[in-house]
Amino acid sequence: MSGPSDLVRIYGRAFAAACWLLVFGWFTLLVLVPQVTMVDQSLWRMEQPKDAAQLTLDIDRLYNDLSVMKLDRADAPADKQAALDARIAETQAAIREMETRETQPRKVYGPENYTRMSGLHAEIFLRTLAFAALTTLIALVVCYPIACAAAFAGKATTTAVILTALTIPYAINELLRTYAFLMVLDYRGVINTALSWIGIIDLDRDQAIPFLESQAAVFAGLVYAYVLFMVFPIYNALESLDKSQIEAARDLGASSLRTHWRVIIPHAKPGLAVGSIMVFMLSAGSYAVPRILSRGLGGDWFTQLIYRQFFDAHNWNIGSAYSVALLIACLVFVALVMKITRVGLKDMVR
Amino acid sequence: MRGHEIRLEQVCVRFGAVTAVEPTDLTIEAGEFFSILGPSGCGKTTLLRVVSGFLSPSEGRVLIGGRDLTATGPAERPTAMIFQSLALFPQMTVWENVAFGLEARGVDKATRKRRAEELLALVALAEHAGKRPSELSGGQRQRVAIARALAVEPAVLLLDEPLSALDLKLRQHMRAELKAIQRRTGVTFIYITHDQGEALAMSDRIAVMSKGRIEQVATPDGLYATPATPFVATFVGEQNVAEGTIAAIDSGIATLDTPLGRLSGRLIGKAAAGARARLMVRPERLHHAAHVAPTPNTLSAAFARRDLEGPVEMLVFDLDGAQWSIHRQNHGETPRTGPVELAFATEDAMVFAEATP
Ligand SMILES: Nc1ncnc2c1ncn2[C@@H]1O[C@H](COP(=O)(O)OP(=O)(O)OP(=O)(O)O)[C@@H](O)[C@H]1O
Ligand SMILES: [Mg+2]
């Protein structure tokens, strides 16, 4: 396309310029600056100087010299005292300079923050990615039928009811929502109480099912927390499907399964990709849900590790490195999903 | 491939309080090219969906090839539908589209591909087999849809305004193509359209629908020459209309008193003197009085304008409060304005009495 952009044509130069300025400002402030700071932070560390031992020896030697000089000065004739005083001051300054060098670590750039990740931390990192992928898969399996139900309900009211019901929980803060879920899954939570009412378990004899002690609780919590981000992209994609394609498939004798596999899912692919990417990123980066639901019993999520690097260990460099590692892993996931589904960026914004 | 006969017995479709199709009896013969013609919203698609099995009739039975298939789904019926939007699968190649019905029936890939190629050859698209539907032109996509429907060897092909998205030239070309495919395959075609030209050009028989009711079933010639109802008379072709009261009826000829004068024509149906009625004359049956044998039906008019339509021209005249027109061969010039006498033969006019409420 040549000539002025649509923006200029519709709103005029001044307004278009304001828009572009806003976009530019937004990009700089909210995208570029934080990421660049984080990457920079992750690439340096404070290091004790390498020649620290030699320095200590040198300082010791200078201290010896100093004591000798002080003794000399006590015995020296008056005309030589001034020269000795100058030398003493000189030596003292040198000692001070070397001492600061000895105790003050230096800022050193290098990849060590990444490469020195301990085995345990690397394991948590990989496990978090695997669990996030699993959460995504579960969300995909749970949300596709919901999105289908909403898109193919036939009646507008049914669609509205399904979508509203999905949205309502999001009016509540994520933390509170997660606590609500905790109350459902707790030892004496809603599910266990209901089961004891039916008579399947006896709460008083400690037969409560320990949902919260297994990773399943975290998966369920994450899926619960992020369904919307999976359902809406899929729903949007399905909504744009010409319904007569489904009828045509049926008319040609295709089973429901084949219709989904060959007609509906290929059409919904961009939605499936966008939903998967969002849920993966959100669950890999989730802090509250695994923290609240596993309560330390189900093993750490990588985000908890990052949190501790920042706020307990006060090692912002390692914290940044871990954050950037997670970011890179997410980007790799995005690329992977786009490759697998053969969906381009342009398809996603469709 | 051989067509099947279709019989609808007292088929009726209601959506809540709305009756989309009134109780209808209809027989479509095996191997016939049958069109359903009617204005938008008259229930054409609804009727077709009943035949295809996507919609169960509220009442009545659907028999295809002599079997009662009222309760059978679309997949099990020997029918195939061509949708108004064509509904090609955009993610599949052309040949995969055509072979989809066979794929659903578990036919192996090699056979599928061979069969798809045969069908694509039939619709002259053999060299496009590997393309996606989006890479084809409108007419080519249309033919892919036909090939896809024919692949499942249906006995009945159902077409819901399949040409409405095409431009005029292509539409005329596709008419001939469709007709030829129908001849070659012998499949029964049920063709829905609101374009009378299409219906008249292609069909063996036409049903004209209005407001959920079939008004008349006839051959194209029969429909044009002897419409059974005023709706059919005005919907198919054009008419010059005069309203009035019946003054006399004599051996099938009704004489009307109208604001344009006293006019007579053949009475269609029954009526008594004194009833309100409409007299209709086709534009090609109206002439300048000077050019025809004397008739009792003459009108004074003033020439208004000339609409050229290529080989023919339409002359429009102002009458007392009405506009009538003459459809004739292109004379190559615009007549002078001024008063003229128009005339038509009594046997060229039709009189429909208004239904007594
Ligand atoms: N699913 C439905 N629910 C309620 N009313 C319907 C439904 N489908 C069709 N109708 C009504 O039935 C009538 C006939 O509709 P139909 O689609 O058969 O018309 P049509 O003749 O195919 O019109 P067109 O030429 O515009 O396609 C219309 O008044 C329509 O509003
Ligand atoms: Mg229709």
Examine residue A24 and state whether it is found in any structural domain, yes or no: no
Rg (CA), chain A: 32
Q: Whose CA is nearest to atom 4 of ligand 1?
A: B15
A244 touches chain B (CB under 8 A): yes
- Examine the pLDDT at B1 and tell me if it is beyond 60: no
Examine residue A27 and state whether it is found in any structural domain, yes or no: no
Name which of B301, B308, B304 is nearest B333 in CA terms.
Answer: B308
B74 touches chain A (CB under 8 A): yes
| Ligand 1 first shell, C-beta below 6 A | B 15, 18, 20, 38, 40-46, 194
Examine residue A39 and state whether it is found in any structural domain, yes or no: no
Cα–ligand 1 centroid distance for B80 (angstroms): 20
Kindly list the residues from chain B whose CB atom is less than 8 angstroms away from the CB atom of residue A241. none
Q: Are A74 and A182 found together in one domain?
A: no
Q: What angle do CA B86, B89, B94 make, to 5 degrees?
A: 95
Interface touch B89/A245, C-beta < 8 Å? yes
Q: If you average pLDDT over residues A269-277, what whole number do you get? A: 93
- Is pLDDT larger for residue A55 or for residue A280? A280
Q: What percentage of chain A reaches a pLDDT higher than 70?
A: 98
Examine residue A177 and state whether it is found in any structural domain, yes or no: yes
Name which of A231, A332, A239 is nearest A276 in CA terms.
Answer: A231
A256 touches chain B (CB under 8 A): no
H/E stretch holding A228:
helix A215-239
The overall average pLDDT reported for chain A is 87
Question: What's the structural domain count of chain A?
Answer: 2
Q: Are A221 and A125 found together in one domain?
A: yes
Nearest to B101 among A244, A253, A255 (CB): A253
The tens digit of pLDDT for each residue in A100-112 reads 877 777 788 888 8
CA atoms of B112 and B132, how far apart (whole Å): 17
Q: If you average pLDDT over residues B28-43, what whole number do you get? A: 94
Amino acid A1: pLDDT: 47
Q: Are A68 and A162 found together in one domain?
A: no
Amino acid B357: pLDDT: 47
Q: How far is B42 from chain A (nearest CA, A)?
A: 20
Nearest to B75 among A251, A263, A267 (CB): A251
- Examine the pLDDT at A71 and tell me if it is beyond 60: yes
Q: How confident is the model at residue A188 (pLDDT cuts 50, 70, 90)?
A: confident
Interface touch A252/B75, C-beta < 8 Å? yes
What three-state secondary structure class fits B244? strand
Amino acid A267: pLDDT: 93
A266 touches chain B (CB under 8 A): yes
Q: If you average pLDDT over residues A220-244, what whole number do you get? A: 91
Q: Are A190 and A296 found together in one domain?
A: yes
Q: Are A226 and A337 found together in one domain?
A: yes
Amino acid A297: pLDDT: 64
B interface mutation test: which of A244, A251, A347 has the most B CBs within 10 A?
A: A251
The tens digit of pLDDT for each residue in A317-348 reads 889 999 999 999 999 999 999 998 888 877 77
Q: What is the CATH number of the domain that holds A228?
A: 1.10.3720.10
- Is pLDDT larger for residue B74 or for residue A11? B74
Cα–ligand 1 centroid distance for B26 (angstroms): 19
Interface touch B80/A251, C-beta < 8 Å? yes
Report the phi/psi class of residue B43: left, alpha or beta, with left for phi > 0 and alpha for psi in -120 to 50. left
Nearest to B52 among A251, A253, A266 (CB): A251
Q: If you average pLDDT over residues A56-77, what whole number do you get? A: 87
Examine residue A33 and state whether it is found in any structural domain, yes or no: no
Report the atom number in ligand 1 closest to the C-alpha of B209.
21
Q: Whose CA is nearest to atom 24 of ligand 1?
A: B40
Examine residue A55 and state whether it is found in any structural domain, yes or no: yes
Interface touch A252/B80, C-beta < 8 Å? yes
Say if CB B120 and CB B126 are below 8 A apart.
Answer: yes
CA atoms of B83 and A285, how far apart (whole Å): 47
DSSP A48: -
With a CB cutoff of 8 Å and minimum separation 6, the contacts of B23 are B10, B11, B12, B59, B60
A interface mutation test: which of B72, B89, B156 has the most A CBs within 10 A?
A: B89
Interface touch B89/A262, C-beta < 8 Å? yes
- Examine the pLDDT at A151 and tell me if it is beyond 90: yes
Q: Are A89 and A127 found together in one domain?
A: no
Examine residue A125 and state whether it is found in any structural domain, yes or no: yes
**Is A314 exposed, middle or buried, given 0-12, 13-18 or 19+ CB atoms closer than 10 A?**
exposed
Kindly list the residues from chain B whose CB atom is less than 8 angstroms away from the CB atom of residue A245. 87-89
The full set of domains in chain B, from first to last, is 6-233 (3.40.50.300), 238-353 (2.40.50.100)
Interface touch B104/A247, C-beta < 8 Å? no
Q: Are A65 and A144 found together in one domain?
A: no
Q: How far is A202 from chain B (nearest CA, A)?
A: 50
Query: Where in the sequence is the domain holding A220, given as residue range(s)?
Result: 118-348
Amino acid A296: pLDDT: 63
Q: Are A180 and A323 found together in one domain?
A: yes
Nearest to B83 among A248, A258, A262 (CB): A248
Q: Are A186 and A73 found together in one domain?
A: no
Amino acid A202: pLDDT: 83
Examine residue A202 and state whether it is found in any structural domain, yes or no: yes
Instruction: Considering every ligand atom shown, identify the ligand nearest to the alpha carbon of residue B39 and give its number.
Output: 1
Say if CB B156 and CB B51 are below 8 A apart.
Answer: yes
Q: Are A100 and A127 found together in one domain?
A: no
Amino acid A144: pLDDT: 95
Helix axes B138-151, B109-122, angle to 10 degrees: 130
Q: Are A195 and A327 found together in one domain?
A: yes
CA atoms of A70 and A64, how far apart (whole Å): 10
Interface touch B89/A263, C-beta < 8 Å? yes
Instruction: Considering every ligand atom shown, identify the ligand nearest to the alpha carbon of residue B47 and give its number.
Output: 1
Q: Are A144 and A289 found together in one domain?
A: yes
